[in-house]
Chain A
C-alpha cells in the first residue's frame, strides 16, 4: 500500500469530502443563474465553501510535504492520526449543521420562488389563451368579416335611401312638366279671351249699322232699333267679359310662371343635395372602411404578438424545470453532510469513552454517495473530484469552471 492510498483510505476525510460536495454544489449556481439572477447568494455560499475546502487542502498538503522533507521515505500512516489538525473535528461538528441549514434555506427559497413563478406564468399563459380565444370567437375566426359585412349592409341601406330620395326628385320633375303644360293652356285661354273681345267689337259695329238702318226706315224700323240697341249693349258686356278673362288669364299665367321658377329652383337644389349626399355617404363609408382595416390590422398584430408572448411564457415554464434538479442535488448534498456529521459524532463519542475509533473507509463512503446520485452532473462531478484524492482540493478552482454549465436537456425518452 503506498502513501496515497493509505492516506485516502484512513486519515483525511476532510480532504476528500469537501471537494466532492463542492463539486456537487458547483453545479447549482449556474442552474440558478440560468433561471434566476436573484439567487446569486447561493453561488456565494458555494464559493465560500470552496474557500474553506482549499484552506483545508492546503493545510494537509503542507503536512504531507513536511512529512516528506523530514523523513524522506516516511509514510503518512506514521504521522499522528487525525489529531494533527487540532480542533477540526469540533469545528466540523458545529459547522456541518450550519452548512446543511444554509443549503436547505437556499433550496427551500428557490423551490418556493420557482413554484410561485411557474404558477404565475401558468396563470399568464392561461389568461392569454382566454383573451386570444375570445378575440378569435368575436371575429368569427377571421379578422374582419363581421365588420365588413356590417359596412356592406350599411352601404346597401344608404343606397336604398338615396334611391327613394331620387324617386321623390323625379316625381317633382314630373309635376314641373305638368305645370309647364298648364302654362301653355293659359296662353290659349288668353287668345280665346282676345277673340271674345274682337267678336264683341264686331258685334258692336254690326249693332251700330243696324241702328242706322233702323233710323232710316223710320217708324217701321223703330222696333228693330230697340233690338239693335240691345245687341250693342250685349256686345259691350261681351267686350268687358273678354277683357276680364284676359286680365285673369294674365294673372294666372304670371302665378304659374312664378310656380315654375320656384319649383325649378327647388328641383336644382334637390339635385345638388342628392349629389352632395351621395358624395358624403361615399366618403363616410370609405373612412369607416379605412378605420376598420386599420383596426383589423392592429388586432391581427395584437393577436400575433399575444401568441408570441404565450409561446415565450410556455418556454419559460419549461425552463423552470431546472428547480427539480437543483432540489435533488442540494438534498443529496445535505444528506451526505448529515452522514458526515453523524460519523464525527460517533467518533467523538468513542474517543470520549477511550475506545479506538474505526478509520473511515473513504472508498466505501464515496461508493455509497455515488449510489444516491440521480443526475448526470452529479456523477460527472463525483468522478472528477473523487478520483484525485489529496490533490483534489487544489483542483477545486479548475473544477468549478468545468462544471459551471447549465443542465443540458437530454431529450431522452426510452420506450419499453
Chain B
C-alpha cells in the first residue's frame, strides 16, 4: 500500500509542486491550507510523514507540529519543515517542536524525495 504524506502550505502552487513531486514517486498525498486545517486531517488515518510550511495564516507550522506531537497516534510521525525561512533561530524552533528536517524553498524535487525517503515511516 502506498505511503501517505500530509502537505500543509497556504500557497496553492507549493501544494501543487510538492504534491506532484511526491505522487510521481508513488506516494499518496493529502493536503491542508494551514495548521488548523491540517489538524482536522489528523483523524486517526495512517500518515507516514508530514511536510509543513512555517508561516501560514490561522495556525503557523511550528504551532501545528507542537499540537500534532501531543496526539498519541501522530507523536512519532516525522515532519519536514518546508519554508522560505532560513534563519538559525527559526530552525531551532522547528527542531524544538519536533521537526526532523528543515528544507528552504525553493527546493529541488530530487532532494525533497531524498529527504522523504530517509525519514518516512514504514
- Bound-state Cα–Cα, A321 to B106, Å: 6
Say whether B106 contacts A118, CB under 8 Å.
no
- Bound-state Cα–Cα, A319 to B14, Å: 10
What residue of chain B has the Cβ atom nearest to residue A119's Cβ? B16
Chain A to chain B: the 5 pairs with minimum beta-carbon distance, closest first: A115-B12, A321-B106, A118-B16, A118-B13, A414-B102
Q: Quick one: given A314-B20, A317-B20, A321-B107, are A115 and B101 in contact (CB under 8 Å)?
A: no
Q: Quick one: given A122-B19, A407-B106, are A374 and B85 in contact (CB under 8 Å)?
A: yes
Say whether B84 contacts A374, CB under 8 Å.
yes
Q: List 13 A-B contacts (CB under 8 A).
A: A111-B12, A115-B13, A118-B16, A119-B16, A314-B24, A318-B21, A321-B13, A323-B13, A324-B13, A324-B105, A412-B104, A413-B104, A416-B95
What residue of chain B has the Cβ atom nearest to residue A120's Cβ? B16
Q: Quick one: given A412-B104, A413-B102, A414-B102, are A321 and B83 in contact (CB under 8 Å)?
A: no
Q: Quick one: given A122-B19, A374-B84, A410-B86, are A325 and B105 in contact (CB under 8 Å)?
A: yes
Say whether A414 contacts B91, CB under 8 Å.
yes
**In which size bucket is the chain A interface?**
20 to 34
Say whether B102 contacts A125, CB under 8 Å.
no
Say whether A321 contacts B105, CB under 8 Å.
yes
Chain A residues closer than 8 Å to B84, beta-carbon distance: 324-325, 328, 374-375
What residue of chain B has the Cβ atom nearest to residue A114's Cβ? B13
**In which size bucket is the chain B interface?**
20 to 34
Select the residue from A111, A117, A407, A410 with max chain B CB neighbours within 10 A: A410
Is B50 an interface residue when CB atoms closer than 8 A count as contact?
no
The secondary-structure label for the interface of chain A is: helix
Besides A318-B17, A328-B55, 16 other A-B contacts (C-beta < 8 A)? A115-B11, A119-B12, A122-B19, A125-B20, A318-B108, A319-B106, A321-B107, A323-B11, A324-B13, A324-B106, A325-B106, A374-B84, A407-B106, A411-B107, A414-B101, A416-B101
- Bound-state Cα–Cα, A80 to B105, Å: 48
- Bound-state Cα–Cα, A196 to B102, Å: 125
Is B71 an interface residue when CB atoms closer than 8 A count as contact?
no
Q: Which of B2-31 contact A (CB under 8 A)?
A: 9, 11-14, 16-17, 19-21, 24
What residue of chain B has the Cβ atom nearest to residue A317's Cβ? B17
Q: Which of B78-107 contact A (CB under 8 A)?
A: 83-86, 91, 94-95, 99-107
Q: Which of A356-391 contact B (CB under 8 A)?
A: 374-376
Chain A residues closer than 8 Å to B16, beta-carbon distance: 115, 118-119, 121-122, 317, 320
- What does the 1/0 interface line of A327-344 toward B look like (CB < 8 Å)? 110000000000000000
Shortest Cβ distance from A43 into chain B, in angstroms? Answer: 20
What residue of chain B has the Cβ atom nearest to residue A125's Cβ? B20
Shortest Cβ distance from A373 into chain B, in angstroms? Answer: 8
Shortest Cβ distance from A311 into chain B, in angstroms? Answer: 10
Residues of A within 8 A of B (CB): 111, 114-115, 117-119, 121-122, 125, 129, 314, 317-325, 327-328, 374-376, 407, 409-416
Q: Quick one: given A323-B11, A411-B108, are A416 and B102 in contact (CB under 8 Å)?
A: yes
Say whether A409 contacts B108, CB under 8 Å.
yes
Chain A residues closer than 8 Å to B17, beta-carbon distance: 118, 317-318, 320-321
Q: Quick one: given A324-B11, A375-B86, A376-B86, are A410 and B102 in contact (CB under 8 Å)?
A: no
Shortest Cβ distance from B37 into chain A, in angstroms? Answer: 16
Chain A residues closer than 8 Å to B107, beta-carbon distance: 321, 409, 411, 413
Q: Quick one: given A114-B13, A413-B115, are A122 and B106 in contact (CB under 8 Å)?
A: no
Q: Quick one: given A325-B105, A413-B103, A415-B101, are A122 and B11 in contact (CB under 8 Å)?
A: no
